[in-house]
Amino acid sequence: MRPEQLKIIFKYGTFTPRLALTGIQAVFVRHGMPITDFTLHNESVHLTSLPSKLEKSNRNTFNLIGQGFEFLLGSVRHYHLDFLQIKSANAPSRPWDEWVGEFSTNPNFVMAWVVDSEYDYWQNAEDPLQYTSVGKSYAHLPMKSNRQPYPVEKEIIDTSINPGRWCFRDGYIEAVGSVMWLGAPFWQLTDADQKRVANTPWLQVQEPAPAVMRIQAAKQCFTTPDNSSGELQARLRSFLFGVADLACANEHENQK
């Protein structure tokens, strides 16, 4: 299996470093995995002492690496959401359901989904430098203006029709994964029909916790935009989010 990422979204201003680290530590301890030898911004740290360390420095974000994982916690104030991203350096050693279970009981949990790391990266790569830096051609890809004023205006890659694209929306992220978990706020924010989703025959639907719906559209993470896989991603996106006329807002926001 290829490296994967779990992305989790919460209501803005509700998901603190202490909550994130408590859940992370719980999974490690439960499986007898070391909670030492982690790196926080190039500094060696221990999980148990990290919450007070971050609180003392008044930091609400972190980029934590260790034991084959990278944890990225942040907020996007403009779109009113907090996020926790968990990236596995290799094939994940523990089911993603277990990680989600640590956080989805939070009433401010909005949604979570799993992606293939490489596929997610290239489906959302807008800067031509992302291609040229690794000797990859983008000549066959559609281009568009970044809509910035002169002199920062330039041509970027148009990812707006990519099946695996993700887009900032107000309070959530428009994205699809082979497996997704949807909390109570998701339905309020997106106006998706919860009963219709629950009764859809081409989705495997479960309720792993109160007010949390787990939907599975495919056995493995999506890895291609082509053929039936691309069609399934487009179908799932339309089903959950409707046809969005707004442009994706994948510009790198300041994490505040």
Task: Tell me the per-residue pLDDT of 136-163, one tens digit each, with 9 for 90 and over.
Answer: 999 999 999 999 998 889 999 999 999 9
Reading the chain (256 residues) residue by residue, the pLDDT tens digits are 789 999 999 999 999 999 999 999 999 999 888 888 899 988 899 898 999 989 988 999 999 999 999 999 999 999 999 999 999 987 666 799 999 999 999 999 999 999 999 999 999 999 999 999 999 999 999 999 999 998 889 999 999 999 999 999 999 999 999 999 999 999 999 999 999 999 999 999 999 999 999 999 999 999 999 999 999 999 999 999 985 444 565 444 433 4
pLDDT at position 36: 86
0.95 cut: is pTM over it? no
pLDDT at position 225: 96
Cross-sheet strand order for the sheet of 38-40: 43-45, 38-40, 62-66, 69-76, 81-88, 4-11, 109-116, 179-182, 212-216, 204-209
